[in-house]
Structure 1
């Protein structure tokens, strides 16, 4: 019997592979995983993806369509003793039926090293089929020894079309869904909800149920786009300041600056600000980008980024968005050079590898032989500053740095004879 207090997303979980929506690259007919399941085989694996995209639903289908027992455990609250008990039960089932149970560990990245190690023997011998789900990158969060025994399947956010299919089914389903409310709807409503759900099926169904029940409670029979915009809260933006999305969005922001795309830059900045990201963190990354990616192609970039960091910290949000936006657009539009970044990295690499030079005698205070450049025409005089000359800096011909290269060519033969990096 259906409990109507159960959330719509839970009630609408698929009961067969054909009902499962989305992720055609891994579960559509003809794919490797689908073929395995149809032959009764479940691979030990990790399902990696954001919340609400069907990981748990897929695990349960894996067990049901292959007619295997499913043991579920939550990594947040599980103890090693519970894991061992689960493994013992799995071994007993296998000894009696000849088939391994599916051990479903939700949010497996919460397991510490000893907990993960407790699973190793059972997985290696096939006493249990381990299927874990995680919203965090398994290559960083799961022990390499355990990971080497598992397949990692990436579950991407659901597409707009996937979400529209899910919601249409829910509105039509009289047994588990919202069909008994006998509502009609504009197709644009479903697309509006899909856009606001950020690829999260659970969020889309939750928002749909909230809207549908609101319409029904007020005596209405039609879900209009106007009603949806009035009743639904703001769009759901997927961004966890401590998780993968945090790093993915800041990475997209910095790479857009590096790639000189001001439109993408301002979009990703808006995403960061809208999610409540710390403006000091954003400003620090912009300062780093100014030095690393713009460099001496435009020395003003570092000054502007540093000023923006100070000014945004002084004003706070919401005004800081204007300051950070201006600075981000400047960095994205500026000429680019990473030659200063490469120069310091190359020098540090030499030192770390043992190439430590002694200071030339004439550069040591109190010693004779040092030539004071300001006493000479052009404030320069030929003399050595390293015991063993080594080229680290290769100016580009981008922006202001082309002028830097021209000046150094006038002074140093090595910049005339080998001005390019590969010389």
Structure 2
């Protein structure tokens, strides 16, 4: 093994396998072909040593740190690192000062790699802006979270965002085989034999994370007997595959979105699976209970009003009897909502009503709809000619108007032909016909 000066280094390398196997050149990099295939902008930039500030967004173990190192090496620059987990504004200033001194004394550019950049607050992110603009640093931020939600627009406007994806199974297999064969940095000198079913389980357990795959492989290699790595060894060393769930991260919103859309699409199987995924990842069942209440109003509405009551009952059951029975009650409500007739008529009508109120914020209440608590109000015409609905057949006043005259022709609630709303539409049609046939009509004078 050689050191950074190209001399033979006989000292053992105690770095983890994942660190030793980190790609040094583009031809060693595995995955992310959508970014690093020949002809792609990032590939060409690295190949030509052209530096620009960037945000590398992707799950753990997809090569964000490696890309930062490649960018730096290709341009013969110096890489400085800070982590937003432990650093503050003082550390940012120190890194900037070092970059300035390096540029002045060595005429050498600095790539500042900021890991977990989404953990910096607005003022900390703002501290980078003038130094990105004047070229003091080439900024490379790494994040597992959506930059559109977690990073300032000012920082995003000065960088290029690259989305890194989970490695697919073929990529993970290549990572594992490369480590088994490499005699200089990997495990090649041990001549290990990895059973085919053990390889498949390693790929499954890695879940698209190259670092995780190599860490698991190293654990198995250290525990191997007679250089054999079989399925039992891998399963004991790796354990069960861990669910990805973070209530502050993308996975949280993605799972909730999948659950919501499964219910909306009337898939009880999809709804139950995503619910179980949330539970497996340690998510709070009441997160789902709250979402079911939203679904009952947004996606079911008056097509089956029982959905909202059942959602409330499930929430109440969870609070009364605890998680063991309560989680099942939430599952019951979830299935009911998935199978219920769907309507977004209430959701749409309410949104239109809010827009209408914004458009006409000051239309007066028609006098016949106002209250007249005093003689003065009555003298002013408040409540004049109000027609009490219960005094009329079917408790309905044909020809009456309940909107200001300027928007009297507006129709907000338009039920569909599913579930109870079919009957509600029939009633609306009947009332509309009664209005049209009525000899008496409320005038336009408000």
TM-score, structure 1 length as denominator? 0.90
Question: Matches of 1:113 and 1:364 in 2, distance apart?
Answer: 50
Matches within 5 A, 1:8-407: 8-95=17-104, 98-214=107-223, 216=224, 219-365=225-371, 367=383, 369-382=385-398, 383-388=400-405, 389=408, 390-407=410-427
- Single out whichever of 85-94 and 328-337 deviates more from structure 2: 85-94
Residues 340-388 of structure 1, C-alpha deviation per residue, up to 9 Å, x if partnerless? 0111222222223443444444444564634343343333232222333
Q: Report SS of the residue matched to 2:128.
A: helix
| Native 8 Å contact 2:216 2:237 kept in 1 | no
Question: Matches of 1:225 and 1:73 in 2, distance apart?
Answer: 39
Question: Matches of 1:231 and 1:276 in 2, distance apart?
Answer: 22
* Structure 2 runs not aligned, ≥5 long: 1-8, 373-382, 438-446
Going from structure 1 to structure 2, the CA distance change for 1:42 and 1:315 (only over 3 Å counts) comes to: farther
Residues 242-271 of structure 1, C-alpha deviation per residue, up to 9 Å, x if partnerless? 112111111121122222233322221111
| Native 8 Å contact 1:405 1:415 kept in 2 | no
Residues 205-251 of structure 1, C-alpha deviation per residue, up to 9 Å, x if partnerless? 2222223322x2xx343222243334431102221111121111111
| Native 8 Å contact 2:245 2:283 kept in 1 | no
Bigger-Rg structure (1/2): 2
Question: Matches of 2:151 and 2:436 in 1, distance apart?
Answer: 52
| Native 8 Å contact 2:53 2:138 kept in 1 | yes
Question: Matches of 1:238 and 1:136 in 2, distance apart?
Answer: 13
Going from structure 1 to structure 2, the CA distance change for 1:415 and 1:37 (only over 3 Å counts) comes to: farther
Residues 132-159 of structure 1, C-alpha deviation per residue, up to 9 Å, x if partnerless? 1112222222222222110001111221
Computed over aligned residues only, the root mean square deviation of the Cα atoms, in angstroms, reads 2.5
Question: Matches of 1:228 and 1:78 in 2, distance apart?
Answer: 37
Question: Matches of 1:371 and 1:15 in 2, distance apart?
Answer: 84
Shift of 1:95: 4.0
Q: Report SS of the residue matched to 2:292.
A: helix
Aligned to 2:375: none
| Native 8 Å contact 2:48 2:74 kept in 1 | no
- Single out whichever of 276-285 and 79-88 deviates more from structure 2: 79-88
* Structure 1 runs not aligned, ≥5 long: 418-423
Q: Report SS of the residue matched to 2:276.
A: helix
Question: Matches of 1:52 and 1:135 in 2, distance apart?
Answer: 10
| Native 8 Å contact 2:99 2:109 kept in 1 | yes
| Native 8 Å contact 1:359 1:387 kept in 2 | yes
Aligned to 1:421: none
Residues 369-413 of structure 1, C-alpha deviation per residue, up to 9 Å, x if partnerless? 343433433332322223332321111222321221011110124
Aligned to 1:420: none
Going from structure 1 to structure 2, the CA distance change for 1:241 and 1:113 (only over 3 Å counts) comes to: closer
Q: Report SS of the residue matched to 1:133.
A: strand
